[in-house]
Structures are given as C-alpha cells and as structure tokens.
Amino acid sequence: MNKRRRYDMVANVFVIGLGLIGGSLGLALRGTRPVKTVNGFDIDPQTLQQALQIGAIDAGVTLTVGAAEADVIIICAPLRFYPGIIEEIKPYLKPGCIVTDVGSTKQPVMQLF
C-alpha cells in the first residue's frame, strides 16, 4: 500500500467534546488532505452551536451516529466521562476505527476497551 492510499482511509473524523481542545482540533483538521468530514458531539448545545458557527465541525451528530460513521474518533471530554462515552460508542465502531483521546492518563482508558 502506498502512502497516498493509506491517507485515503482517514476520511471521517469524529470529535467528542468541542471545548477549547476539541474545537481547536476540529479547526486544525478541517481542510487537511486526508480528512473528508469532521463531525462533532458535545453535551452542551451552546458549545456544539459555537463549534458549527466557527467552522470547527461539518455537522453535529449523536454519539452513536458519529461512532458508526467515523474512521478516527478523538475523545476530548473530561476523563470522568470516558467510561460512559466508551460504553455508548463501542458497539458502533467500524472495524479498523482508531479511537484516541487527549486525556492525561492512559492506563484507565485502555482498561475500558
């Protein structure tokens, strides 16, 4: 597989948590070559609306829809919400989907999978 082909596989990114970090990631990812769409979810409707207004995401979606469509998922929520988020998205993940996070600790997160 050549390098260009590998990048084609990263088409749909789903950002969970659209505050300062998630919104900034969305803005950075929008328009980059391997990314086709950046969808987002936030529990706060105002934060979601702001992310849409500034162009950080293409669309706001539910956790399950976002997970089902994503090639890459980036969790940008507070660590205390990770267990619930992962429990909700896990059944909907596509084979080969990459799930990553911006949290400071990894061991507890790894145990959730």
Q: 23: left (phi > 0), else alpha (psi -120 to 50), else beta? A: alpha
Q: What does the pLDDT look like over 34-62, one tens digit per residue?
A: 889 999 999 999 999 999 999 999 999 99
Q: How many domains does the chain have?
A: 1
- Whether residue 81 contacts residue 112, with contact meaning beta carbons closer than 8 Å, is answered with no
The answer to whether 111 and 53 have CB atoms below 8 angstroms apart is no
Residue 107 lies in a domain: no
Owning domain of residue 84: 3-102
The more confident residue out of 59 and 1 is 59
CA distances from 89 to 24, 38, 83 (A): 22, 17, 10
Residue 113 is assigned to a structural domain of this protein = no
In a domain, 33, yes or no: yes
Residue 112 counted as domain residue:
no
> For residue 100, what pLDDT band results from cuts at 50, 70 and 90?
very high
Please check whether residue 62 lies inside any domain of the structure. yes
Beta bridge mates, 13: 38, 72
Domain at 86, CATH number: 3.40.50.720
Q: Is the pLDDT of residue 78 over 70?
A: yes
| pTM (predicted TM-score) | 0.86
